[in-house]
Amino acid sequence: MSDIIAQYEKYVMPTYARQPVAFVRGSGCYLYDREGNRYLDFVAGLSINNLGHCHPAVVAAAQKQAAELINTCNLYYTQPGGELAQLISELSLGGKVFFSNSGAEANECAIKLARKHGRDTDGDNKYRIITLENGFHGRTMATLTATAQPAKQEPFKPLLPGFTYVPRNDIAALEAEMDDSVCAILLEPVQGEGGIYPLEKDYLEAARRLAGKHGALLMFDEVQTGLGRTGKLFAYEHAGVKPDVMTLSKSLGGALPIGATVTAPAYSEVLGAGMHGSTFGGGPVPCAAAIAVLNELIADGFLEGVNARGDYMRSLLEKMKEDGLVTGVRGLGLMLAIDLGSPVAADVVTEALKNGIILNNTSAETIRFLPPLVVEEGMIEAVVEFLQTALTGRT
């Protein structure tokens, strides 16, 4: 394992603060290192492995497609891309889909679509995009500008013009910034990288109303929240507020790289030929895998099981709060977080790894849980038992 780490340190740019472990195999909710040690994964690759590692249906679909046709580029038609686009459309907004390779690229497409729609409807002055403080939308220059986290933005200034930031769940602040120069509101229904903060139903309803009033698009970044993570197929379903544009990625391809920008029918033709592209976007292999993923998610009883396991985990975390071990619990479905009340989260994550458990902290005081949606109750209990031991006398 040490030779793999040394090779990375010598040849790979140090843009990630990696944990000191190298994995060689994954199965279900577990990862394995080269020495055969097993780790219970409650990060799921930051929600790319929603069905667990190497789900048999995803592996079979990808292997079959890879043996037939890997890619051709987007100058031609292939069967999996059309099938996947139809499936996503019919399950969500009913319009058309642009395929890319990641969540940042999906959001980049959404931003361009919003700017183009604004210009088409009201000329050059309709270009502003409102996003939320502490949100996260990616690391390209446009999506980094949309990501209202100063620490992430500072090294890359100057940023792109035309973005305005408001606090989450503050309707008055959003209303104060809205005028006819706004072409879009872009937000996550649950802020993920920001620490698992669900947006309130009345806030989403207000965003929908204000977008309509000012001729702006309402765009939901469901890169992390989508595809069953919150207990619904898409997080917008909790509030019953439909966006005009939605972005997907992470778990869509069962951990293969794919992003999707989805529109309502009225906005399906905003981007025409030559206005946007992605060489590898919508390749047959990740599209075939994504079809398998969606078929698993919409199978009878699957999402009900996610909600049941999410409720169970939340009940155990709430008990920890009652016992004074944590100061806050929040989230939806199996997208959960705890606040520790002191800056020990990184230490807890390090200790967890030594105990064969993979956790993630979004800040010095917050631990985020994104277990595979197929996690079992006994696995949840094991993680909570570890946390109870690790936090006793620490917070």
Sheet with 366-369, edge to edge strand ranges? 328-332, 335-339, 366-369, 360-361
Question: Dihedral of the CA atoms 42, 44, 50, 55 (nearest 10)?
Answer: -110
Q: Which tokens hold the place of 125?
A: 């002055």
Whether 221 sits among the annotated catalytic residues: the reply is: yes
Catalytic residue among 136, 163, 220, 369: 136
Count the residues in the chain. Answer: 395
Say if residue 55 is exposed, middle or buried (CB neighbours under 10 Å; 0-12, 13-18, 19+). Answer: buried
Strand partners for 330: 337
Q: Is 156 a catalytic residue?
A: no
* Cα torsion 292, 94, 118, 219: sign: negative
Task: Give 257's contacts (C-beta < 8 A, 6+ positions apart).
Answer: 101, 102, 280, 286
How many degrees, rounded to 5, is the angle at CA 342 between CA 338 and CA 345?
55
Q: How many angstroms separate the CA atoms of 356 and 383, rounded?
A: 10
234 tagged catalytic: no
List of residues 6+ apart from 318 with CB closer than 8 A: 329
Please state whether beta strands 366-369 and 360-361 pair in parallel, antiparallel, or not at all (unpaired): antiparallel
Selection from 73, 95, 82 nearest residue 277 by Cα: 73
> Among residues 23, 96, 98, 221, which one is catalytic?
221
CA distances from 248 to 89, 112, 210, 262, 271 (A): 12, 16, 24, 8, 18
234, 222 contact by CB (below 8 A): yes
CA distance 310 to 369: 10
Q: Which of 96, 126, 232, 250 is catalytic?
A: 250
Query: Which residues participate in catalysis according to the annotation?
Result: 136, 221, 250
